[in-house]
Structure 1
Amino acid sequence: MALGATKGGEDAALTPWQPVPEWGKEMYESRLKMIGGVTGIGFITNDLKRTIADLKKKGAKTAVDGESQTFGRFTDPDGNVLFLAQPAKPKIRRAGVSALGFVTVASRDSKKTGEFFRKALGMRKQRAESDEEGFDSYQLSPKATAITPFTPRKDIYDNPADYDADMAHIGEETGIGFTTSDIYRLQEQLLAKGVRFKEKAEAQDWGGIRARFFDPDDNVYTLVEYKG
């Protein structure tokens, strides 16, 4: 099941998954530890205040960050934290989410990771709307979901434990996947650019072909070619 904020739109799908013992002890236990954390997944809303109010009515735990009133968060039933972001000047005020806007990725050097997205994957840099430095985003197309690499800094956290938690995310499985119509060709192109692979492209039992690659911080991403 894939949940998309815009049906048939260009933004990414969100795919809920549940760890099962059949994955093997190491992977199963590592994935269990990921449940209940900050996902880095961000939805766009054109009316943060009303969207937060609607989520509260449905029993979700919510919060608005800082004094800007344009960025907030909510928690799903498993304790996973997701973000809500409102444009500074929305064209129309409407409650609810309009797109899966971005996914954050912790990095030791966000500029270096951004250059990796730009040069290796052909993504385009988008300046951040916020005044915070180091939160530029990268997209494959103007309406596509962005990836936002950021370098944790102690001064942006109210709780020191949150800084430690984000630092611990560096070098993890991001859960971010890219689809392609020719995975073997793309794999060769990425290898030629010096991209390191954790797993080369291989046919899967479910019918598609999958590969997994690293960014400069050893964060892992997935390439998928669907068949039929």
Structure 2
Amino acid sequence: MRDFEDSTLWRISAFERIHQQTGSSGFARLSGPTLLPTTLLADLRRLDADPTSGDVLEVIAACMRHRESALLCLQHEELVWPVTLFPNERLYHSPRDMGDVSRSGLARLKLLTAEPPGVRPPGHWMQERVARADHYRPLSPLLWSFALNGPRRELLADIAGPVAYRLVVGGAGERPSAPGALGSALERLQRESAPAREIARWPGMSVERANRLLNGLYLAGSLLVSRTHPAAHGDERNWLGLRKHRR
């Protein structure tokens, strides 16, 4: 059975066969914790019970919120990508760089399993489970790509509702970049706070684009969310009407 050092990804048919036989992915065979942390596991079970929110981005958001590492097996087209998130180190581990995958495949990205990590981050004192250095990559660009190009079009539950948003510099000290209207919206959010319904009306924007932008900023740690800002208390009926009109 392969492990994380193999740079060849599994085909979905092989992954499903192993999962049926063992009850877990072949990527989790290295010794380590048998269960995810209780708080994260409770969140994932809640998402799994709610088909409207139990998607890839919500699961990633749960890992980031709890700052807990997890191995996510993701289906991109016909291949299974074992991606281990390390929120505290702002890194992810994968045998190959997911930054090279097609955008059309990201639009249909699926979560197959969420499991305890099989590797540890670089610099961990238990070095026997630290993988090759070139298999660790910056996490923020991956999350940004998933938010802008992945299957989720709605706001993440953590940041939805009557809220005003503003761009802030993330923990890594870098501001995400985006082309065209998204880049203009980033510039504007750096100067002022605005609710999602207003951002959706900016030139070149839409409800979906606003949602994706805000989701990406949130996951990148570059979003200030205020429920007390005056801009957060607009007419919610207007926002709902705008959503129907723009879809």
The structure with more radius of gyration: 2
Normalized per residue, the structure richer in strand is 1
Normalised to the residue count of structure 2, the TM-score between the two structures is: 0.28
Higher RCO (Cα < 8 Å, 6 or more apart): 2
Normalised to the residue count of structure 1, the TM-score between the two structures is: 0.30
